[in-house]
Structure 1
Amino acid sequence: MSSTGNISGNGKRGRRLAHTRTITCRGYELADGLWEVELRLTDVKPDDLVLRSGIRFGGMPIHDMAVRVIFDESMFVREVIATTVGSPYPGTCGNVTPAYEALTGINLMRGFRQMVKQAIPVESGCTHLTELLALAPTTAVQTLVEARKDRKAGEMPYEIGRCHALSSSGAIVQKHYPHWFIAQEK
């Protein structure tokens, strides 16, 4: 059953918190004219967890990792900085962070997710850092919203055709962007 309302449980089933994953995405305008998205993931268990590397006490992060992607207004990646603050295997997981520098030079809007998979093979990277990078393109778009308000006249708004609500043949595009509306053949 799908809903656009409250996502919390409805009380019909008893439930106990077993895990919390928090992902935070932030976008910044940098003083040098570049842009940055900072993507961070933390995994926390409410109770103590026995790992092969030792006990992780409840409330302490099992994973605490971040990736910073610095890019220009054309969405080309200028620098990638990956960081592992906390992991189940201290001293090992963080060793792969330099691998993410291989993403420098690629474009966030041109097959970025696929290029991440090609540039960083599974065993050469970190599952969690790689998962975070999937959020970089859409976070970058949101970061540049204000900067792109001054786009060239006649240039189609980036968001058209990128989701169901903004389908080029949909009611929202027809109402708010009539110039870019494409009627579907019946």
Structure 2
Amino acid sequence: MSLGSSARKPIHTRSITMDSYLREDALWELEAHLVDVKSYDFPTKVGAMHKAGDPVHDMTIVLLVTQEGLITDVRAKYQAAPYNAACMAIEQAYRGLVGLHLLRQFRAAVRERFGRVDGCTHMSELVVLLPTVFVQSLSAQRREQAEKTGKRPFQLEGCHALAVTSPVVREHYPEWYVNPQEGGKRRARQ
């Protein structure tokens, strides 16, 4: 999608893929993969030529997570990195995610543990996206639980479309809808 009529030339592409897997042992594997490519050849510091389309960064991180969101195991792996072994040396450090909870101050903990020289900018940027993937993975299960218990669905009030005063909530969650015209106030979180 372009913002104008001016011609554009591709320069850099970052692709991120995130997958979640429910294992037979009821644990979750969350896998995140990042690839950066340039659309042009460029010389490296060691005199080689990096070819257009060859990954500058190619990295994967997999978290093993309980149903509640506790990280019990981690594996980080680089398939390509601009400084090769120097970049790849940080892989084991990401085992420091073990013991963190995806849904409790996770992003702040990642910044604290892996900020600046204690981590890899790209790996840390990738891993902080995983709480949302986990929440999406649990959505059907949480929806069923909310229906059985009568609790308000977790996603309500999570974005503008799901404000309890919105037409979306009126249509899909009528029991939680609050009519703004009647001076109704939003229900407190339950």
TM-score tier after normalising by the smaller chain length: 0.7 to 0.9
Counterpart of 1:162, as a letter, is: G
Aligned to 1:35: 28
Gaps of 5+ in 2: 185-190
2:41 aligned with 1:48: yes
d(CA) in 2 for partners of 1:182, 1:102: 44
Greater radius of gyration (CA): 2
- Give 1:71's aligned residue: 65
| 1:100 aligns to 2:86 (yes or no) | no
Of all paired residues, the percent bearing the same amino acid is 35
Cα gap change, 1:51/1:116 in structure 2, threshold over 3 Å: closer, same or farther? same
CA contact (8 A) 2:31 2:63 kept: yes
Paired with 1:112 and 1:170, the residues of 2 have a C-alpha distance of: 30
- Deviation above 4 Å: which 4+ runs of structure 1? 182-186
Q: Determine whether 1:159 maps to 2:155.
A: yes
Relative distance call for 1:155 and 1:105 in structure 2 (3 A) is: farther
From 159, 174, 180, the counterpart of 1:178: 174
What is the TM-score with the length of structure 2 in the denominator? 0.85
C-alpha displacement of 1:93: 0.4
Conserved 8 A contact 2:75-2:95: yes
Q: Distance in 2 between matches of 1:38 and 1:103?
A: 14
Check 1:62–1:182 CA distance in 2 against 1; reply closer, same or farther (3 A cut): same
Greater share of residues in helix: 2
Higher relative contact order (CA 8 A, sep 6+): 1
CA–CA distance in structure 2, aligned partners of residues 33 and 180 of structure 1: 31
What SS does structure 1 have at the residue aligned with 2:53? Answer: coil
**TM-score of the superposed pair, with normalisation by structure 1:** 0.86
| Higher deviation after alignment, 147-156 or 33-42 | 147-156
How many positions carry a matched residue from both structures?
179
